Structure 1
């Protein structure tokens, strides 16, 4: 099932938005922008009857207690032009465990028209292009705080071109990588907070007959106030960063050049280059304790290596692009969302008793080294190069994703990833195409999905456990997973979820449940995506195998999955991975 996708340059996007919002000698305030778009789509889009995919937003997935991402197929019963929404009727749901109401009121930008339509008389290509224009505008140009703008100002003149150029500056990577990651994080967070705020306010308006203090609990009022305050903070920062000159100054202040190991007469630079850079982050403790931790680290540090003490882990990751190893003393180390991780770098916790790290109790005691996010970030760590983390508890309870591995090899040794166990959308580790993740004596616990392994990625579990997740491991058809003395325990839905092509005699079967890994050969002609031995305990289904032939997926994607190593362009592969991951 293929959908329309468009690749347009900056000038195309600017011209499209100007054609909708720019009128000669007319002032278009923020309050009129939505009306102008509604007039435009009423002329361009098919009013009813077209089919498409609904990519359910994260906030709705959380409220419906379903996994994220979730995509469903259906048709538009009616377009509500005034609100830029549609009445969407669900016809097919991929996951057997997902049970949704048939009719939904959804935003048009969340819909993706499919190329194949039951009604061939529809001008579906024009409809898809119109939805694409609307989606780009409300995803990348319109900000959650724009509705609060003064109507005396011309919104189009002040913001339109600036915002589109800002969007393409991020895409072209014309700014420092750490700053670009910071901006993307702020924009993603603002969209999510706005959706959350609208959902809470909708609950209040539904009960507008009563007293607001009675209809909303104290928790909801507190959450709403927190959302407003956080959005105000993000607004101030984004409006500053939209200006290229202010952005340059902000970058110099917020993300300065490296200030440690500066070339000077006191440093032996040749030794530094040969042996690498060693950093220490020591939490407040007694002098004897500090000496003790230094003695632990001394055993693995080269004799002539250069060592630098830094107050916080955040400071190292924000300002240093090169480091051999960062040693952390026991305690709680707080960081903000970062992508600036050094190639072949290492973070090592100076844990006094390694056995305490791999136990299932007392994760956050003062004897353990823990890393947590300072705010409700989207991701704790993003890796684009090879990296190693040892003896650390990664506290992912207030992030949407624990670790995102985009490229390279990530090694976790004696580590714990702990989620909140509440939301249906939280993911522990996501392995992108061609990456490798090695878990050695690790625990992944209390996520909606413990580990997601995308196309051609490799996951190795050595003496590791995945505990109390809804789905332990989500395997793509062309990914691999190696088990060595590992366990998946108490998975609420599936210990392992994998999709593949069934044998011809069972081609109409939707899914098959295996009790163990060895049963694969009995049901499937394809090579098993996993090797080794894995022990299952207390799981609803040990290995849940989905039949690709009965999935909501395009024929083109199906052919790619069936082929072995067929060449695909980078951009095309990314689109296919998103589709596969969504379904």
Structure 2
């Protein structure tokens, strides 16, 4: 580890000439008891600096088998062969050395000990003689990635320091020992370097969930272990053509290890892909297993307080902990971290959070029926989330209750509270959001009352089909949208049951309530319309004209496909009409729809504007156009706008 002494804002991975004399890199003071000279501070490089270096100067369009060759050519151009000092670091010791030559093809430097001799070791018996003996065994060759270049303000060794840093970072964070086993059909930079580099910086910026980071590191370790076993088995198979039972057994074992290795590598690639890791790579909630009742059968009250005073303890005893108030003897545990308290909970436990500002780095996974309760004034009990990649609170318990808390989220990419299963009650809380606010998933239930939610860059509340959501006396404001009801006509799920009473939805960028439905072709008038070649037509009208057209052998397949599409669209349209009828929505002649719900003190006046455009492009004579050249473009757009009218 190094401490930053100074850093120049103009530092760049610039491999051209420099106009200003002197170094453009910062310097750092090595930690420890030995006074080593300052070193170049190069481990702070930005993503685009490393990206440009690997893409433009080091790897370019090389294949995996050519990585070492391209790296050698790069080092020969920019790395000074001698005349510079470095700190040689291992897991055991640090020694000041001087570089006298470089073995570019081996990515090693030939070094000698500097005078005076400076060494710091975790082993007290590691002396000058030990270092000399070690260098003799290594023939004075040290890997470049174990060297940290000593600082020089002349600027002469800037490119040397950057080159060593790029080599060190590449082999520590990008290169995998099995990369050379991969096929060379694709550009190595595009296939491996760029996604791994992006993942590295996403992790540094805490944009990846902590659970996914742990999974990735675990997969890397497993892959390294399996690959090592695979190499041992492969090397143990003799190269002779004579078959033997031992050789056959080794081949079977090798095939099993190879399949396991490929499976692990595919998992790594999914996580390394910025899109796939959120779609397929990480089942965030699969590990939320309820603990159930504690083996002893007892229920524990967890008290969370950063500092416990006598007066606070006396108040807790009077209001929450005395047998008279709860009717039974209580077992109590004390914590200074609310996340640790929640992780220690079993079914039926209670967490009482005392006044304080708590900063947590992790996710509240609540899989049992527990209660989180703030004790004191609402603004005095603040739980602030660190880390951009994680959710804040994930609920899957059968009956969870959260009350009297203020949850604050900064620079996040995930929502503040997700209800996946069971029922969650949120009462008298303040939610300061960053992305999406509260999400109610399919088959989940949320009761939210007397709470204030604001700041979401998405919807304040997202409601999925098949869920239940009751919103009573809440404030939802300063979000992109107030309430988003998703896919409410989806035939695969029940219509969401939503009750809203006395909610103040105001000062949002978009609409207060938004209904999202899947896009389907709308019905058109039965009367045929005059059309010309190349003109726009509605989807069903175009299909009617097709039925009247003599179909040749070349276009018969297109006609059958169009008929199937038309039938499917008509069936889906009828199903959506049935859904609208179940909701109590009827079409009015003026194009307005009135939605009345018996449990809501609001009337929704909905104006549906439907714009369907279907275009079919044909050649001058359809009969002579090959089926592969025939194209049809069907564009369907629906916009749904809502106006909330209080009654």
TM-score range, shorter chain: 0.3 to 0.5
Structure number with greater CO (CA < 8 Å, separation at least 6) is: 1
Per the normalisation by structure 2, the TM-score is: 0.40
The structure whose Rg is larger is 2
